[in-house]
Amino acid sequence: DCRQYTNRSCEECLKNVTCLWCASSRRCVEYPVRRILPPADLCELRSARWGVCWVNFEALIIAMSVVGGTILIMLGICCCCCCKKKSKKQVSEGPDKDDERAAREREKRRVRQEERRAEMKSRHDEIRRKYGTV
């Protein structure tokens, strides 16, 4: 029973993990497990201690909020950086694809032009043979 540690020390009260120490009234009470935070009529948050004597619930809530907020902000920044990096990569890939397409078109034109030259040369050779100018 936690009440037996009332008017003793915080350390003695908190040896039992089911106990809550109220520093303002120097009471040791059962922790209300059905609720996350102890109700104000039981003990004020700034006076309530659970687990360790040097951290009160008020400071714990503030510290957890700051840490949680910092983690959320860092995740948001990481997501933004990843999205920017991804969009830059896609933008940089765009011109490369265009360059590749243009190079393929140039190569096709060059091949067609060589085929036409060869065809014209063969026609000219045929005409020269026909008229005996070769």
Per-residue pLDDT reduced to its tens digit, 47-101: 999 888 998 888 888 999 999 999 999 999 999 998 887 777 665 555 667 788 8
pLDDT at 93: 56
Q: Give the other-Cβ count within 10 Å of 12's Cβ.
A: 13
Number of domains in the chain: 2
Same domain, 46 and 19: yes
Same domain, 120 and 68: yes
Same domain, 44 and 100: no
Residue 80 structural domain? 64-131
pLDDT at 87: 75
What is the pTM for the complete model shown? 0.53
Residue 11 has pLDDT above 90, yes or no: yes
Q: How far apart are the first and last CA of the chain?
A: 122
